[in-house]
Amino acid sequence: MLVPRRLVIPAILGVLMAGAAYVPLDPRYPDTRLASLAERVEAGVIVTDDDLVVRAKAWHTGSFVLVGDAGDADLPATGVEVGPDDLAYVMFTSGSTGTPKGVKITHRNVTRLMAETSAIYDIGAEDVWTMLHSYAFDFSVWEMWGALLFGGRLVVVEDDAARAPDELLDLLDREGVTVLSQTPSALAALAGADEVRPARLDRLRLIVLGGERLDPASLSGWFARRGDEQPRVVNMYGITETTVHVTYCPITARDAAAGPGSPIGVPLPDLEVSLRNEDGAPTAVGEVGEIWVSGPGLARGYFGDDEATARSFRMAAWGDDDHRRTYLSGDLARRDADGRLFYVGRRDDQVKVRGYRIELGEVGAALKAHPDVIDACVATDTGTSVGSRLLAWATVRPGGPGVDGLRAFLADRLPGHMVPSETHIVDAMPMTPNGKVDRKALLDQARASRSASATAQDAPRSDSLQAAVAGIWAEELGVAEVALDDDFFDLGGHSLMVAKVIRRTRTELGAQIGARALFEAPRLADFVERVRAQAAAPAGAATDR
């Protein structure tokens, strides 16, 4: 539990040399979460600093080691023998039940990862790496040991610089960084800064992407300026349970121009990947299946959770007489005729909106295909009275499209049920401590913006009919208020919702009106006038207006 990040490296080395395993506790997480994690693993000692120890003492009653206590003392060796199958670290990931799962990784898991990748990327003592990511995110394992195991240099980047793309560009130049690890979202921000003020990046030879779905089209601008050979860009798919990385895929300008699809390539040489359908049978070329992984990268399991371990790590058939310990990832992919894997999304990223199953990644990829979109994110808002609503956010280049332009762009490329109910343009994507897009923060912002917008506008209360119709719309659309100029469909309305609104308008307001009226007059003010004209119509009058 340390800040600044540069103190983390000696702390981790000390823990490992003492024969123990480390459990990263990022101080940016709430105390309740930190306390829960420490309790889950029955932490005997917390390594921290003078500033944080007071905070930690509020929830940890065990021992503490303060970094710096030993100074320059010549301490004796511990004499502890550490074996390759001993635990190196326990890293917690989000669980589908809401309870984090502690993934147990051994020394062998890590050393074989670095051995396999060093041969692919020619990692050596002349390389300069950055440690950009939280030590509670397994990307940090790759960054740290990529430098330390091969005699390279590790530049530990503190949070302020890591989150400021222009500062990071300066650092990459100043330190002569050769290997850079980024999430696709972070690289999109870095590329945007590079577009405004190009950096030299003379020594940068390799950019490794991971942690998120990559849409190669988002790299078009980068490749147009810098080409695809110096630096090389490689997309690596991986899971905490399989020790950081599973597959690798060089990404070129050709991939960026190829259209939707997120290539993750082929497995590392010591791992095998199989795509399986819901019955556990291998899928055919082009078919989507769940990613199953086998090989020495598999974690020992989940700390203190035998049930979850048994669910995710199974003995599975890979042939007639070939049963292997296998990790069932919950990720979906397809394989092309050349054997290259393409990531599709999480099984739980397959959401249902208006009765349709939608892959969030597919909608995001369509949005990123716009030439002026730098980055995009799609999520569902389930906290409404009308079920799930699809929302999108985008960062765009100066002079790029507005919300209406993006909506029209998507409407030309996607079925109506896949076009987000709301699209927001943001200056930058909020990030979690792990360098991933913070979808919760985006949803909170959208809800706050929706509420503020409704409050700021003149609510339609000039007469009781306006107020009544607005109330029906607001309840069915799941929004706080509706203004006279609001469009029913821009607020997220759809054909299933139209039926509910018309039924309530007829029964509650006595208007002999049909669904066509709402399609023809989707603006609230116009629809109210249609209702007003029909409210006094005799029973049996035409109701298609």
pLDDT in tens, 385-444: 445 678 999 999 999 999 889 988 988 877 666 788 888 999 999 988 777 889 899 998
Domain assignment of residue 483, yes or no: yes
CB atoms within 10 A of CB 17: 12
Domain identity same for 145 and 283: yes
Q: In this structure, what CATH number is given to the domain that contains residue 18? A: 3.40.50.980
Give the residue among 373, 371, 369, 393 at the shortest CA–CA distance from 381.
393
Per-residue pLDDT, averaged over 483-512, amounts to 80
pLDDT band at residue 164 under the 50/70/90 scheme: confident
Q: Tell whether 167 and 237 lie within a shared domain.
A: yes
Same structural domain, 16 and 118: no
- 26 falls in which pLDDT band (50, 70, 90)? confident
The residue written with tokens 């997220």 in the block is 492
Residue 377 backbone dihedrals phi, psi, to 5 degrees: -145, 145
Is the domain of 264 the same as that of 389? no
Instruction: Give the confidence band of 284 by pLDDT, cuts at 50, 70, 90.
Output: very high
Question: Domain range holding 531?
Answer: 457-535
Confidence label for 354 from pLDDT (cuts 50, 70 and 90):
low
Q: Domain check: are 382 and 293 in the same one?
A: no
Task: Give the pLDDT of residue 498.
Answer: 79
Residues in the chain: 545
Split into its structural domains, the chain has a count of: 4
Confirm whether 91 is domain-assigned. no
Residue 89 is predicted with a pLDDT of 98
CATH code for the domain of 482: 1.10.1200.10
Residue closest to 144 by CA, chosen among 37, 6, 45 = 6
- What tokens does 254 get? 């050709």
* Domain co-membership, 211 together with 78: no
Q: Does 92 reside within a domain?
A: no
What would the mean pLDDT of 361-366 be, rounded to a whole number?
83
Cα 475 to its chain centre, rounded Å, is 31
Give residue 386's pLDDT.
Answer: 47
Reported as a pLDDT band with limits 50, 70 and 90, residue 355 is very low
Q: Is residue 94 part of a domain?
A: no
User: 40 and 122 share a domain?
Assistant: no
Angle made by CA atoms 128, 133, 134, in degrees to the nearest 5:
135
**How much is the average pLDDT of 470-490?**
82
3-state secondary structure of 186: helix
In a domain, 544, yes or no: no
- When pLDDT is averaged across residues 366-377 and rounded to a whole number, the result is 92
What pLDDT does residue 387 have? 52
CB-count exposure of residue 183 (10 Å: 0-12, 13-18, 19+): buried
Least confident piece of the model among 12-26, 359-373, 527-541:
527-541
Mark whether 393 and 527 lie in a shared domain: no
Same domain, 132 and 281: yes
Phi/psi region, residue 482 (left: phi>0; alpha: psi -120 to 50; beta: rest), is: beta
- Assign residue 413 a region (left: φ > 0; alpha: ψ between -120 and 50; beta: otherwise): alpha
220 and 328 assigned to the same domain: yes
Please report whether residue 99 resides in a domain. Answer: no
List the CATH number of the domain containing 375. 3.30.300.30
As a whole number of angstroms, the distance between CA 179 and CA 199 comes to: 16
Q: 450 and 480 in contact (C-beta within 8 Å)? A: yes
pLDDT at 122 over 80: yes
Output the CA torsion sign for 107, 110, 116, 122.
negative
Classify residue 475: in a domain, yes or no: yes
Contact (CB, 8 A) for 294 and 267:
no
Q: Does one domain contain both 267 and 147? A: yes
Sheet with 301-302, strands from edge to edge, namely: 87-93, 101-106, 301-302
Flag the least confident range among 213-217, 273-277, 451-455, 522-526: 451-455
Query: Residue 196: pLDDT above 50?
Result: yes
* Nearest-angstrom CA–CA distance, 323 and 115: 26
Assign 458 a pLDDT band (cuts: 50, 70, 90): very low
Q: What is the pLDDT of residues 72-110, one digit of tens each?
A: 556 566 678 899 999 999 998 865 444 678 999 999 999
Q: Provide the mean pLDDT of the chain.
A: 87
Instruction: Give the integer Cα–Cα distance in Å for 268 and 208.
Output: 14
CA–CA separation, 18 and 79 (whole Å): 8
In-domain check, residue 540: no
Q: Which of 425, 454, 483 is the last residue of a domain?
A: 454
Residue at which a domain ends, from 435, 454, 473: 454
- My answer on whether 408 and 471 are in the same domain is no
Q: What CATH number did the domain enclosing 134 receive?
A: 3.40.50.12780
**Predicted local distance difference test score (pLDDT) of residue 269:** 98
142 falls in which pLDDT band (50, 70, 90)?
A: very high
